[in-house]
Structure 1
Amino acid sequence: MKKGLVAVDLFCGAGGLTKGLSDAGINVLKGYDSDAKVSETYERNNRRSNFFHMDVVKLKKKELLDGIDRENNFFLLAGCAPCQPFSLINRKGIEGDDRRNLVLKFGRLIRETLPDFVFMENVPGLVNGKGKVIFKKFLAILDNYKYFYDYKVLNVADYGVPQRRKRLVLIASKGIKVKIPGNLSSDNIVTLKEILTKYPPIKAGEKHPGISNHEARGLSELNLERLQRIRKNGGSRTDLPSEFILKCHKKHKGHTDVYGRMSFDNLAPTLTCKCTSISNGRFGHPTQNRAISVREAAAIQTFPDDYEFYGNMSENTRWVGNAVPVRFARAFGEYFINLSSNAN
């Protein structure tokens, strides 16, 4: 009889998925990522987990299973491969992008290790866009090895994350039928007012001395003037007088979120790897004349305030923007805990 549930987190990044699974009660033993710089952030915040700097393409069965007691524990293999090749904001084709094959490399490790449970998160484009051929091949691996599985495009806001962020989630089990767990009650929807107002004001280019990662990007004098003229709580670049509108925006009506402000009474837009820059989306603070800080971005991704990021600002922003929201991950961790308790 197996008593526990252990996991390995592939493409772990800064550890959003690891943190959420751990909060649910799963012992995440290892995290693998090709970015060596993220190791300090991952290990300092996930003390029970070991970080391995390795390209998953090169990861072998023996290495992955080393130290995992499968006789006494159920084994969850989780993988959130880089989503950029399949993202809607990526206007290039996926041909020639080596990252497109990482989903199938994850599939290879499933085939070789036959975990009891599988979790995968990616962008919707993997199932209904550029990546659908690859996704069908991934499903074929699960079919060939008799896995039960379910997948669905979900909005993380329905799981208590203050952000409109649609993600494809797949769960699989070797011996038990599975079903994507339902969303939380709409009463649990969290707005930005609850998240952002607890942080003290800072100016563009300033770093708060007492709150880790509460640091905002600097702004040019012209961009600061632009932001000052954009309506607070949800204003857009369409608020700007003609003399402040960029030439490229005068000729192009799209991308109206660029230079926009978030609203306290609403959800955040999907955070990206450039979510602390006003020129890359609706990432302006609702009322202060700056973009959101790394700490505020992390809070929107439901990282706790004591989860510290140890890179430079660009690295920290990328790690936060690419992370699986912690609260979202925890919901699935709790599902797997319940599933494993019924599997014996």
Structure 2
Amino acid sequence: MDIKNVHIKNHEQTAHAPSTLEKIRKVKQGGKLSEQTKTFGSTYRRLDPNQPSPTVTRSGYRDFIHPFEDRMLTVRELACLQTFPLDWEFTGTRLDSYSSKRKVTMTQFGQVGNAVPPLLAEAVAKAVSEQLLDVIDEK
């Protein structure tokens, strides 16, 4: 299979403005822009490939810089951090349009950031199920 011809859903990169690229380039692996300026809080954090990811939030498209490339993560990359399977497709718009006429819909980034990671949900469900079965067995 020629990997160059495979379409990965939700893996479109954002075309960053020059001012955004300038900010991104300042951040070293594992660092964040707020270490250099006080205006960006938890946004503009470059992932460290040797450390766990910080929590993915609804504003993830502004939070995480790719560990090796000067760009923000894609919806798919954030979804992988959240343990979504590769074939899971997020629908709707990728980013907020910031238009006064925009629909009240959840963006793809918002869907990923607001989600409970599937593997976490599975672990919680399994633990609850085991506890319930133990209670039933005791009766």
> Which bracket does the TM-score occupy, shorter chain normalised?
0.7 to 0.9
Q: Which residue of 2 aligns with 1:235?
A: 31
Moved over 4 A (4+): none
Q: Which residue of 1 aligns with 2:87?
A: 306
CA distance in 1, matches of 2:40, 2:34: 11
What do residues 258-280 of structure 1 show as CA deviations (whole Å, max 9, x unaligned)? 32211101111111111012xxx
Under a length normalisation based on structure 2, what TM-score does the superposition of the two structures give?
Answer: 0.75
1:335 shift after superposition: 1.6
Q: Which residue of 2 aligns with 1:327?
A: 119
Q: Which residue of 1 aligns with 2:44?
A: 259
Q: Which residue of 1 aligns with 2:67?
A: 286
1:341 shift after superposition: 3.2
Q: Which residue of 2 aligns with 1:216?
A: 13
Seq. identity, %:
30
Instruction: Tell whether the 8 Å contact from 2:11 to 2:77 is kept in structure 1 after alignment.
Output: yes
What is the CA RMSD across the aligned residues, in angstroms?
A: 2.5
5 Å-filtered alignment, 1:18-97, equals none
CA distance in 1, matches of 2:85, 2:40: 35
Instruction: Tell whether the 8 Å contact from 2:31 to 2:46 is kept in structure 1 after alignment.
Output: yes
CA distance in 2, matches of 1:220, 1:322: 26
Q: Which residue of 2 aligns with 1:276?
A: 61
Q: Which one has a larger percent strand, Structure 1 or Structure 2?
A: 1
Under a length normalisation based on structure 1, what TM-score does the superposition of the two structures give?
Answer: 0.32
Higher relative contact order (CA closer than 8 Å, sequence separation 6+): 2
CA distance in 2, matches of 1:272, 1:217: 18
Instruction: Tell whether the 8 Å contact from 1:261 to 1:284 is kept in structure 2 after alignment.
Output: yes
CA distance in 2, matches of 1:253, 1:275: 17
How many equivalent residue pairs?
A: 122
Greater Rg by CA: 1
Instruction: Tell whether the 8 Å contact from 2:32 to 2:45 is kept in structure 1 after alignment.
Output: yes
